[in-house]
Amino acid sequence: MAIQAFNKADSVVRTLDSIVRSRGSNAYDLLILQDGCSESNQTEKYRSAWGETVQALESWISRNRDHFSSVRFERSDQNNGPYQTAERLITWALETNQSVIFSEDDIIFEYDAVEWFERALAHPMFLRPNVWAIAGESRFFDSYRHVPSNADVLRALEVAHTQDLIDRFVYLDFLPSSCFATTREKWAQFAKTRGLPNGDRAVVDRCLAEGKRCFWPVIARCRDLGMHHPLGYSVRWKGLNHAGFKNSYVVSGMLKVASGELSELTSQKEALLNDFTRFWELLNP
């Protein structure tokens, strides 16, 4: 389990707390790498928050160390940026493990998130050479800036239940930047790309150009809550009111636990779910 941190003390603690609550996480080694503050473009602006994050992480580790097989926390001496930090962290984790679950510091894991990653890592479809990683988030049931009504949520939950969507996955030519799992062999193919400036976009460009895929759950096991955090990377470069927004209104914790075999979503069911997606997209031109 590899967690990337920088200057968001409140956010990274929420992420780590959710991992502790996720079933099976106690069997994992936990690695936390905090990017440095020195020599960044806004060192003085972030110095205080960076120090608070160090203290918050050290305090959290002292309370939760025994939950994991082992815990290691390292800090960079200088600022490397999010892309190089992610590359270093994942490569570090894979030095002693065959696979890794990576997360930025603003992801909330559902109770069955770790189980989802484990099931997907072992699935024959993930072992295909053109599949690079496993996502924890979902591209379905996202209302963007809008708050769905209770009726919308209930309708979506009914569809998710009757169609057994908890056990369904899709292949997308898009690899998320915020949270994913992969193996040592697959990581070797795109690690250097992920560490480039704008490496998350560069990996997606390679997926499109080379026919690479990512294994996505139809029902989200992870949620990204940090796109509008005032100290976050998105806000720093795009402003507090930037257009990007994620709002998953159906997640696995709202449904019964997975009980069947993971299987690919049929085209007919995917068309049904796209109706939900298009509805919210029309509200977000």
| Total domains, the chain | 1
**Span 49-106, pLDDT tens digits:** 899 999 999 999 999 999 999 999 999 989 999 999 999 999 999 999 999 999 999 9
Give the domain CATH number at 56.
3.90.550.10
Q: Which domain holds residue 41?
A: 2-282
**Span 187-243, pLDDT tens digits:** 999 999 999 999 999 999 999 999 999 999 999 999 998 554 455 555 454 555 534
Q: How far apart are CA 247 and CA 143, in angstroms?
A: 5
β-pair partners for 220: 251
Question: How many other CB atoms sit within 10 Å of the CB of residue 1?
Answer: 25
Residue 268 belongs to what H/E stretch?
helix 267-282
Q: What is the dihedral of CA 201, 204, 205, 209, to 10 degrees?
A: 170
Q: Is 29 helix (H, G, I), strand (E, B) or coil?
A: strand
User: Which one-letter amino acid corresponds to residue 220?
Assistant: A
Indicate the pTM of the whole model.
0.88
